[in-house]
Amino acid sequence: MQHSAPADYPIHDLLRERWSPRAFSSRPVEPDKLRRLLEAARWAPSSFNEQPWHFLIASREDQENFERMLGVLWEGNRVWAAAAPLLMVTVARKQFARNAKPNRHAWHDVGQAISHLTFQAAAEGLFVHQMAGFDPEAARGLFDIPDDYEAVTAVAIGYPGDPAMLTDQLREMEVAPRKRRALADFVFEGKWGQTAPLVSKQA
């Protein structure tokens, strides 16, 4: 199923075709492809080159580990994510390793790493669905995440499946038109709330 973004201006095809499905195929993610996704994340930029990201992964091939990770998801996500071949929890180190001071950019940098991973996934024919709907403290307990680290998001990775496998409500969300705010709504110049002329509705 293709779900191209109706971009107002030309962007890279991999960005335009990227989206977050809920229907996943049971086809496993090949180890070489997964390594390439993780390598892409490895080369993301970060504050002071701190690289504060860590990933806990769980493949359906390791059923016990997979079920534990599935268990930290909120029920609404668990319903569809159970079909994905690979689950992940992203984790941020909260302090700089260099001086133990708080790193307020850590969550941003974890997002950059996952963005790189997501772009590589698109190049590999894979799809990534990131989730805020999970229990970080449950993840901490189940996977022994240290106190100076924090789980940030849960992630499902795999090949797209048939939307017919979803509940009616989820299927409706799956096929709904993709929408984003206009550039004029969030690109400002001069002061807050003043739309940059470059992206004004009149441009």
Domain limits, the chain: 20-176
pLDDT for the residue numbered 201: 67
Under CATH, domain 20-176 is a member of which superfamily? Answer: NADH Oxidase (3.40.109.10)
Positive or negative CA dihedral for 128, 133, 136, 138?
Answer: negative
CA distances from 101 to 94, 95, 117, 150, 175 (A): 9, 5, 27, 15, 45
Q: Give dist(CA 192, CA 171) in Å, integer.
A: 38
Residue 98, C-beta contacts closer than 8 angstroms, at least 6 positions apart: 48, 50
Q: What is the pLDDT along the chain (203 residues), one digit of tens a residue?
A: 678 999 999 999 999 999 999 999 999 999 999 999 999 999 999 999 999 999 999 999 999 999 999 999 999 999 999 999 999 999 999 999 999 999 999 999 999 999 999 999 999 999 999 999 999 999 999 999 999 999 999 999 999 999 999 999 999 999 999 999 999 999 999 999 999 999 986 54
**Count of other CB atoms within 10 angstroms of residue 11:** 10
Positive or negative CA dihedral for 40, 116, 156, 26?
Answer: negative
pLDDT for the residue numbered 69: 98
pTM of the predicted protein model: 0.94
pLDDT for the residue numbered 1: 64
Residue 39 in tokens: 């390598």
pLDDT for the residue numbered 200: 84
pLDDT for the residue numbered 159: 97
- Decide if 54 contacts 97 (C-beta within 8 A): no
Residue type, 50: E
